A = this chain, B = another copy of it.
Amino acid sequence: MSIRDYIKGLGRQAKGAAVTLATVSSTAKNDMLTELARLLRAGQADVLTANGQDLEEAEKQQLSQAMVDRLTLTPQRLEALAAAVEEVRTLPDPVGEVAGMTLRPNGLQVGKMRIPLGVVAFIYESRPNVTIDAAALCVKSGNAVILRGGKEAIHSNLAFMRLIKGSLTSAGLPEHAVQVVDTIDRRAVEELLKLDDDVNLLIPRGGEGLIRYVAEHSRIPVIKHYKGVCHVYVDQDADLDMALAIALNSKVQRTGVCNAEETLLVHAAVAETFLPRFIAASKEQGLELRGDPRTVAFDPATIIPATEEDWHTEYLDMILSVKVVDSAAEAMAHIHTYGSEHTDSIVTENYTTAHAFIRGVQSSLVLVNASTRFNDGGELGLGAEIGISTTKLHSFGPMGLRDLTIEKNIAFGNGQIRE
C-alpha cells in the first residue's frame, strides 16, 4: 500500500470511530483510562525495552543530550504518566453539556450542546509521553486521534500504542479511536496535512520549525503553540520588593519554558531605585542581562547592549533583556511591537494602570502582580493541558479538555415552520 493510501485509510478509520466516540458514555471512556493507567504500570518492562531500542539508535545517531533526555523513559516517568492518565479520568466530561436554552417567540426552544471536534491529529517530536497524554485527553473528550510522533521515538510510541489498544478493547471502545502512524517515512506528514475531509484539528507540538512547516502546508485547521516572548513591566507605582521577586521568579524559576520572562521593562521613575537591586540579584543568580542604553548605564561593565534582535528573542536560557520606559503606555507599545501574545505581567499598586494593562494587552494571559510562570493549565485550574495556544481563534492560552470540543445548536420544536 502506498503511503498516501495508508494515511487516507487512517483518516477514514478515525472518522468512523469518531461517530461512535461522540456518544459513548463517560463511564466507558473512564474505564479505558483506568485500564490504560493499569497497563502503564503492569507493562513497564515492555515499554522500557522498546525505549531502550530508541535510545540505542539515538546513541548511534549521536543525538544531542537534550534530545536524548526528552526521549528517555524511566520507571518514575512511566509512573508519572500513569498518574496523569488517572488525573484526566477524574476531570468532568464536557461532552453533552447543554447551555443557553432559550425560548424563541415562535415557541422553538433553542440552545447549545457541547460535542467533540471529531478527529484530532497530533504531529510531535521526540517526547514519547505525548502519545499517552494526547490519547488520554482525546478519548476523554470523545475525539478520535491520529498520532505522528518523532522517528527517534518510534519503538516507544508503538509500545505505548499496544497498551492503548489493549485499554480501548477492554473498555469496548472502537479500535480506531487512537491510531499511531507506524512509519517513519517523512511523506506520511505531508499526506496527513491533506486529510481536511476527515481531520478537524491539527496540533503540532515541538520546535518552531515544525510548527511553521505544519502551519504553512496544512489544509486542516491548525492550533499553534509558538514561542513566548513574555514581559514583566515594573510600573512607577510598583511595590519594589514584590517587583524584584516577580521579575526574578518569572525568569529564573525555570528558563527553558514558553511562559518564562524574556524582557523586563522598568519605568524610568523607579529605575534608579529598582535596577541596582535587580542587577545585584541577577549577578547572584548568574543571569546575563542585555540592556537598552539607560539600563546599561547602571553597570556598563557587565550589562551587554541589547540589539533590535534581542527584543524579539525567546532566549529560553539564563539571559534577560531589560529596557527603561517612560510610561505604562510605552511599556504596552513595546509589548505590542515585540511580544508574542503569550504572557505579560505588570507590577503596580495603581488601580487605573493595572486595569489599563489588563484591558490593553492582548496576550493569552495578562497578569497583575504575579509571575508569568502561572500561564499553565494546572496553575489556572484547567487540569491537564495539551499545550498553550497562541492562535487567537477557538482557544487562546492553556488548552484543556473543553478546548477539544465545540458547541452545536439544538432546537426542540412542536411543528414550527418558517413563514
Binding site for B on A (CB under 8 A): 19, 22-23, 96, 102, 104, 108, 110, 113, 115, 117-118, 196, 200-201, 215-216, 219, 221-222, 239, 242, 245-246, 249-250, 253, 336, 354, 358-360, 362-371, 373-375, 379-381, 391-398, 406-419
Contact = CB atoms under 8 A, between A and B. Distances in A.
B366 A410 contact: yes
A298 to B, nearest CB: 24
Contacts of A118: 362, 392
A283 to B, nearest CB: 20
A418 B366 contact: no
Given A374-B411, A393-B394, A23 B369 contact: no
A243 to B, nearest CB: 9
Given A394-B394, A418-B253, A411 B221 contact: no
Given A215-B219, A381-B102, A362 B414 contact: no
Contact of A411 (B19, B201, B365, B393): B365
A346 to B, nearest CB: 10
A19 B336 contact: yes
B196 A215 contact: yes
B392 A409 contact: no
A393 B360 CA distance: 26
Given A249-B418, A370-B416, 14 more contacts: A104-B379, A104-B381, A110-B374, A110-B381, A354-B412, A363-B408, A365-B408, A365-B411, A366-B408, A368-B411, A370-B411, A374-B413, A375-B409, A396-B408
A167 B131 CA distance: 53
Nearest to A407: B396
Contacts of A412: 354, 358, 367-370
Given A358-B113, A397-B409, A415 B380 contact: no
A181 to B, nearest CB: 22
A416 B374 contact: yes
Contacts of A375: 409
Contact of A371 (B117, B245, B409, B417): B417
A351 to B, nearest CB: 11
